[in-house]
Amino acid sequence: MKVNLVSRSGREVVKGGIELTDEFKVLFLGVRFQATVSDLQEAIHARIKKYYPSRQRLTLPLQAGCKGKPVVLIPKKKLADYCDGNANNLTVVFKDLGVQVSYSTLFFWEYLGPLVIYPVFYYFPVYKYFGYEGERTIYPVQTYALYYWCFHYFKRILETFFVHRFSHATSPLSHVFRNCAYYWTFGAYIAYHVNHPLYTPVGDFQIKIGFTFGLICQLANFYCHLILRNLRSPDGNGGYQIPRGFLFNIVTCANYTTEIYQWLGFNMATQTIPGCVFLVVATLIMTNWALAKHRRLKKLFDGKEGRPRYPRRWVILPPFM
Ligand SMILES: NC(=O)c1ccc[n+]([C@@H]2O[C@H](COP(=O)([O-])OP(=O)(O)OC[C@H]3O[C@@H](n4cnc5c(N)ncnc54)[C@H](OP(=O)(O)O)[C@@H]3O)[C@@H](O)[C@H]2O)c1
């Protein structure tokens, strides 16, 4: 089979295309397998070293005048499955996704920033560089906030390495810079205000309610992540399943719900404008993702051809959405 590899603009990526024959993979006992998309990715990698498989996105060309998303080639599938009529010739659109890093690397760096930056504002005399001289009174709420914050990001790092089972092995390197900018900047912005020498604590009762509620939500969030973990096999296989049990019986993205509520608890206890800004931004981001995840599950589990139907559930924030 000859595969013509073109860019989105139609330019040839590998001159003359790539020849893949049935003999590309010959297993013992003489059983021959047809080439898969994964074989094609390896062949591209062999021709152009920098394009390792996770850096490649292969799609079928869109027909002229046809709008919508192109079909993405799945590594495990046979190339022959994508040949419409002509089994000897296939045109594939190649996109370079750029340098890739593992998902755990991406998450580790984005969470390490806030974990390190926040205590700097608590422990070190940084405020003198902002023009505040003299002794700083540290209120109990500022100490609890430090523990709460560090617990949260430490938990996220542990979950990254020991709980989550990601379906995508890698993410573009550029996302490390983008996500770090988001988390590190917000971390510094909130830490600066909560630990500020002019900070005024709210009442004791509000502090207790805020931290207790937030902590319960953090534990619930951890439990949600355990439920999601058990939907996949240890190698990350298993695709997307209907999450069931605990809060997932009511809401599709219960992990985001509990994440949002735990930040609400932190903000009730600490009450700063930067903390509230972060809560609003994080809620908007997660709501956007939750809508996409809810749509995907409803599409996957449409109740047709023996597939189960996705149950009626809130998307992220019952009883509003
Ligand atoms: N504060 C913030 O701004 C903010 C923003 C986002 C997230 N977070 C926190 O970080 C956590 C992780 O975020 P995330 O966006 O990676 O969460 P996520 O995509 O909802 O889920 C975490 C893991 O579970 C898997 N998963 C989700 N739904 C599944 C299903 N139906 N079937 C099988 N596996 C499923 C995901 O797989 P895939 O690898 O396939 O996605 C991923 O590995 C969140 O729960 C939240 O606590 C915080």
- What is the largest distance, in Å, between two alpha-carbon atoms of the chain? 82
pLDDT at residue number 266: 98
CA atoms in the 13 A half-sphere facing the CB of 101: 14
The answer to whether 126 and 188 are in contact (CB under 8 A) is no
**pLDDT value for 87:** 64
- C-alpha separations of 96 from 11, 55, 56, 162 in Å: 13, 6, 5, 30
CB within 8 A of 259, min separation 6: which ones? 217, 221, 282, 286
Atom of ligand 1 nearest to the CA of 165: 43
Q: How far is ligand 1, taken at its centre, from the CA of residue 9, in Å?
A: 34
**3 state SS of 20:** coil
**Structure confidence at residue 65 (pLDDT):** 75
266: which 2 tokens? Answer: 């932190």
Nearest CA to ligand 1 atom 1: 282
Ligand 1 site: residues with CB under 6 angstroms? 164-168, 221, 228, 231-232, 240-241, 243, 255-256, 259, 282, 285-286, 289
Task: Tell me the two tokens of residue 51.
Answer: 């394009």
* Structure confidence at residue 149 (pLDDT): 98
Check: CB of residue 269 under 8 Å from CB of residue 206. yes
pLDDT at res. 14: 79
User: Which tokens in the block code for residue 287?
Assistant: 């709501």
Ligand 1 centre distance from Cα of residue 150 (Å): 20
Q: Which of these, 269, 258, 255, lies nearest to 147 by C-alpha position?
A: 269
Atom index in ligand 1 nearest the CA of residue 156 equals: 10
Give first-to-last CA distance, the chain, whole Å: 50
Q: Closest by alpha carbon to 223, among 257, 267, 263? A: 257
Query: What is the 200 CA–ligand 1 centroid distance (Å)?
Result: 35
pLDDT at 34: 74
pLDDT at 85: 67
Taking the centre of ligand 1 as the mean of its atom positions, its distance from the CA of residue 256, in whole angstroms, is: 8
- Pocket test residue of 228, 247, 257 for ligand 1, highest count of atoms within 8 A of CB: 228
Return the pLDDT at 33: 55
Find out whether 38 and 53 touch, Cβ atoms under 8 Å: yes
d(CA 44, CA 56): 9
Tens of pLDDT along the chain (321 residues)? Answer: 778 888 877 788 877 778 776 555 545 444 445 788 898 899 899 889 999 999 999 999 887 777 778 889 988 888 888 887 666 778 899 999 999 999 999 999 999 999 999 999 999 999 999 999 888 899 999 999 999 999 999 999 999 999 999 888 799 999 999 999 999 999 999 999 999 999 999 999 999 999 999 999 999 999 999 999 999 988 777 789 999 999 999 999 999 999 999 999 999 999 999 999 999 999 999 999 999 999 999 999 999 988 999 999 999 998 889
C-alpha torsion sign, points 73, 77, 80, 82: negative
Nearest CA to ligand 1 atom 48: 259
**SS3 category, 86:** coil
CA gap 93, 5 in Å, rounded: 6
Residue 265 is inside which H or E element, if any? helix 254-270
CA 27 to chain CA centroid, nearest Å: 37
Q: Which pLDDT belongs to residue 116?
A: 98
- Going from the Cα of 67 to the center of ligand 1, the distance in angstroms, rounded, reads 30
Counting ligand 1 atoms within 8 A of each CB, the residue from 259, 299, 317 with the most, and so the one to mutate, is 259
